[in-house]
Amino acid sequence: MARARPGLSPWLGLAAALPLGFLAVFFVWPVVAILRLGVGEGGVLAVLGSGQTWRLVGFTVGQAAASTVLAVLAGLPVAYLLARTSLRGLWFVRVAVLVPFVLPTVVVGLAFRTLLPDGGVFAIVLANAFFNVAVVARTVANLWSHVDGRAGDAARSLGASPLRAFRSVTLPALAPALTSAAAVVFLFCATSFGVVLILGGSRYRTLETEIYLRTVELLDLPGAAALSLVQLAAVVAALTVGALARRRGESALALRGRATVARRPRGALSWTVVAVALGVVALLLVPVVVLVARSFGGGLAGYRALAGFGHAGSLQVSGVDAALNSLRAATDATVLAVLLGVTASVVLVSLSRGRVRRGVVETMDTALMLPLGVSAVTVGFGYLVTLDMLPGDLRTSPALVPLAQALVVTPLVIRMVLPVLRSIDQRLRQAAASLGASPAAVWREVDVPMAGRSLLTAAGFGFVVALGEFGATSFLARPDTATLPVAIARLISRPGELNNQMAYAACTLLIVVTVAAVALVESAGRTRVGEF
Amino acid sequence: MALTVSGLGVSYGDLAAVSDADLTVADGEVLALLGPSGCGKSTLLRAVAGLEPATGQVSWDGQDLAGVPVHRRGFGLVFQDGQLFPHRDVAGNVEFGLRMRRERSPERVAEMLSLVGLDGYGARRVTELSGGEQQRVALARALAPSPRLLLLDEPLSALDRALREQLAVDLARVLRATGATALVVTHDHDEAFTLADRVAVMREGRIRQVGTPDAVWQRPVDERTARFLGCGEFVDATVSGGVARCALGSVTVEWERDGDVRLGLRAGALRVAREGVGGTVVWRVRGRDHVRVRVRVAEMVVDAVAGVGDVAEVGDEVCLTLVADGVAVLPPGRADQPSPRP
């Protein structure tokens, strides 16, 4: 008597086809087309062999590594503050840390250009780290709040100093989260586009901005294709490291129960760490505050200017229309990304519940993360090459921007919804089934209510990320469908004081929406914000 | 027979968690699956529920359940730690099974809560309940849709001792009152004997013995089963006329036929008394309401129990006598392990 694997239904294949099909049509195909286009014209090997290419790789990896180290050093004390202390006002720290992560890159680039007018490597590293402190702080805090402090206490009682206990007991326990966070941060920093473009100018170029320049300005497709190949290899490597670290993280977590570990800091060392963490939070606020202050530099002139088209018609749409374009595109992208991300999460969690080989699940998981790391420029240009082969005039359609944004947002939705679905006790679902709930009813009665909050969170974050998306949008948005970030980039690249004031005002609008979304999500309850 | 399990096996890769298990549970009967942790008893229960892919056959009233998914089996399930739905209140949990059949019956919910001693708890949040109350709600939830079989997986193990004993008695009462047919998995003999009409002892994925609690307790099939049921020492004996005689004296075993046997001795099998086999106390420790002593008798060292008032200091000469309640009878000569401290 052979019984089917419980929990695996034929519908699963159909459901898997939706996100994987989207990934194939709107990601793999355009990227492969661009790569083939470049390789077809020859000269790829010449680019791969040139010293300039490897200097670019060196700079890209170097700045990403430096930014990652800085983000980890700044994120660890904040993780301690969030996970192990019970001070009042921690919700403010949570919001303050999270806002930079979802701020539009253009806004951050502008903020750091205002703070450090000379720009340069230092500004790039600082800005990249600024973005990613949240990733380190929240990923590590998540694990840290589950680590049983008694192992550290035992080390102390055996004669270890607080620092020694941290190094030899706590730090190894945090290693999975730390590695996973570092891999993700490295990925974000290595492919960061808007920040490097604004702060590096033509002097400091990474693979990502070089691909953009070669594609858009030099029309050097073989060069761009070769660089895309190099970048893809690096991204797959970083994602694999992240997946391996996650695997260890999950097995490590399984060993421990939830412990109430938050207490008031005690001793000089704890208070020092808390002080450092609060210092980091204060520093994170500086760029935001500077931008908002600047936006009022000319009274309300910048805000009034939003109704117009900037100095000497710098824009083809008014600031208000750009804002409306942003809202429309972000809404469409969020709806699409939530649909795709939830479907993918359901498929992934059903596969692991159905005891499908772990490798299969992890490969699919990693594949769905790929859009996070591949040059948005490559994807954007790929759209222009491939999408006119599809029925309907998609290439010139305003639907193109939300499609590209959904590609970026979907991985975020998966990373927020999947861990929550995975953490639902299988036996709770089995209890429902034993009470007569069909598989569909189990989802309706157990999974949906329990993961509902994380779904709202994912939608909130997805929305602000789509709102701020710059890389692919700058490539795909037509002048009359420009979004706010694209308009900001255009304004600051044109002369005129009015343009600057208008850009600051637009940035402030984006900041307000972002802060509101983050605060809303945070107040919706103390949800774990996925693995980021 | 209501439930029939025949030749059931469950494997995880190369590891056989359950092999060749045969079981029957009659209508209205409570069967306990008793065994040490990791013996495969929970896996067997999960296979009956339809939660594990298995070989062999599970059938109900003669109908093979192979193609019947969990939610159509009509088997209620209670886990060790409740597994209540955290987003529903107590009443919402209890009515879940009724709702799945599109029935609404506040009366039934109230009746179930009353049955488990939680009158008026309907509007409470389940996260506010104590561990014992959660288990009661889990039981009410499983019973509400009148399942044809109730599956209980270590239902009391997560509770502390006093609560466990109290709830075991309550659970036995509820099972009797509802006339439920049930399969209970437990590693605790007390629990098994309190709840069950029959007991199946499992070890290493196989069912080793099935019988009434008395039969299993008094006549374990082999030494390892006897050890699991609390026997620490074994001596050869001969039964004649309902009395077993061995090197440590004699004891009444009316239910045993004449012949050679082995006696398994539990903690209370030997008592310090006025007469009996003589020995020297070599070790002594005070218990709550008794004194435990270790006594050298000829070439053996055995454990025995003394009253608090009995003088039994180290070095004292004492007499030991066998107590029928602490003795199990095994087939002869099956020393699959050497006796300890010969």
Flag whether residue B315 sits within 8 Å of chain A, measured between CB atoms. no
Domain boundaries, chain A: 14-29+298-532, 50-295
Superfamily of domain covering A14-29+298-532: MetI-like (1.10.3720.10)
Query: 3-state DSSP call for residue A85?
Result: strand
Q: Any chain A CB within 8 A of the CB of B51?
A: yes
Same domain assignment for residues B186 and B255:
no
Q: Which residues of chain B neighbour A6 with C-beta distances below 8 Å?
A: 50-53, 69-70
Do residues B284 and B264 share a domain? Answer: yes
Choose among A3, A428, A441: nearest Cβ to B53.
Answer: A3
Residue B338 maps to a domain: no
Q: Is A5 on the interface with B (CB under 8 A)?
A: yes
The neighbouring-strand residues paired with A305 are none
The pLDDT tens digits for A61-92 are 899 999 999 999 999 999 988 888 878 888 88
Using only C-alpha atoms, chain A has a radius of gyration, in whole angstroms, of 24
What domain range is B290 assigned to? Answer: 224-330
Domain assignment present for residue B339? The answer is no
User: Do the first three CATH levels of A14-29+298-532 and A50-295 match, i.e. the same topology?
Assistant: yes
B49 contacts chain A (CB < 8 A): yes
**Residue B163 belongs to some domain of the structure:** yes
Residue of B nearest to A444 (CA): B100
Chain B residues near residue A445 by CB distance under 8 angstroms: 85, 96
Nearest chain A alpha carbon to B67: A3
Orientation of helix A267-295 relative to helix A497-523, angle to 10°: 140
Q: Are residues B106 and B186 in the same domain?
A: yes
Name, in order, each residue with C-beta under 8 angstroms of A197's C-beta and a sequence gap of 6 or more.
Answer: A109, A209, A212, A489
Task: Collect all residues of chain B within an 8 Å Cβ-Cβ radius of residue A449.
Answer: 87
| B201 and B294 fall within a common domain | no
Which pLDDT belongs to residue A325? 87
Q: Please classify residue A353 by burial: count the beta carbons closer than 10 Å to its beta carbon, then call 0-12 exposed, 13-18 middle and 19+ buried.
A: middle
Asked if the C-beta of B77 comes within 8 angstroms of chain A's C-beta atoms, the answer is yes
Could you tell me if B57 lies within 8 Å of chain A, comparing CB atoms? yes
Closest to A432 (Cβ–Cβ): which among B53, B72, B96? B96
Based on the fold, state whether residues B88 and B230 are members of the same structural domain: no
Q: Rounded to whole angstroms, how far apart are CA atoms A47 and A45?
A: 5
CA distance A481 to A468: 15
DSSP A397: S
Q: Is residue B260 part of a domain?
A: yes
| Residue A47 in tokens | 């680019």
Residues in chain A with CB shorter than 8 Å from the CB of B54 are 1, 3
Q: Which of A356, A357, A358, A434 to mutate to test the interface with B (most CBs of B within 10 A)?
A: A434
pLDDT in tens, chain A (532 residues): 334 444 456 778 888 888 899 999 888 998 888 778 777 766 677 777 788 888 888 899 899 999 999 999 999 999 988 888 878 888 888 888 888 887 888 888 888 988 888 778 899 999 999 989 988 888 888 778 777 777 777 888 888 888 888 888 888 888 877 887 888 788 888 888 888 888 887 788 888 888 888 877 887 777 888 888 888 887 777 777 777 766 665 544 443 433 455 667 777 778 888 899 999 999 999 988 888 888 887 777 777 777 777 666 667 778 788 888 888 899 999 999 999 999 999 898 888 887 777 788 888 888 888 887 677 777 877 887 787 777 766 666 777 888 888 988 898 888 878 878 888 888 999 999 999 999 889 999 998 888 887 788 788 888 888 888 887 888 788 778 888 888 888 888 777 777 888 888 888 888 888 888 888 877 765 544 444 4
**A450: which chain B residues are within 8 Å (Cβ-Cβ)?**
86-87
Are residues B271 and B178 part of one domain? no
Statement to judge: residues B191 and B264 lie in one domain: no
Residues B98 and B140 in one domain: yes
Last residue of a domain, one of B218, B237, B258: B218
Strands B317-322 and B270-273: antiparallel
Among chain B residues, CA nearest to A2: B55
- Is the CB of residue B70 less than 8 Å away from at least one CB of chain A? yes
Per-residue pLDDT of A457-506, as tens digits, reads: 788 888 888 888 887 888 788 778 888 888 888 888 777 777 888 888 88
For A445-514, give the DSSP string. IIIHHHHHHHHHHHHHHHHHHHHH--HHHHHH--GGG--HHHHHHHHHHS--HHHHHHHHHHHHHHHHHH
Give the range among A111-120, B56-65, B189-198, B235-244 with minimum mean pLDDT: A111-120
Domain boundary among B198, B218, B238: B218
CATH topology assigned to domain A50-295: MetI-like fold (1.10.3720)
Chain A / chain B CB contacts < 8 angstroms: 85
On whether both B168 and B27 belong to a single domain, the answer is yes
Whether residues B78 and B44 fall in one domain: yes
User: Into how many domains does chain B fold?
Assistant: 2
Mean pLDDT of chain A, nearest integer: 81
Please indicate, yes or no, whether residues B115 and B165 belong to a single structural domain of this protein.
yes
- The 8-class DSSP code of residue A5 comes to P
DSSP-assigned beta bridge partners for residue B32: B184, B199
CB within 8 Å: B145 and A436: yes
Contact B56 A427 (CB under 8 A): no
CATH number for the domain that contains residue B106: 3.40.50.300
Domain CATH number, residue B230: 2.40.50.140
Residues B35 and B170 occupy one common structural domain: yes
Last residue of a domain, one of B190, B218, B246: B218
**Nearest residue of B to residue A450 by CA position?**
B87
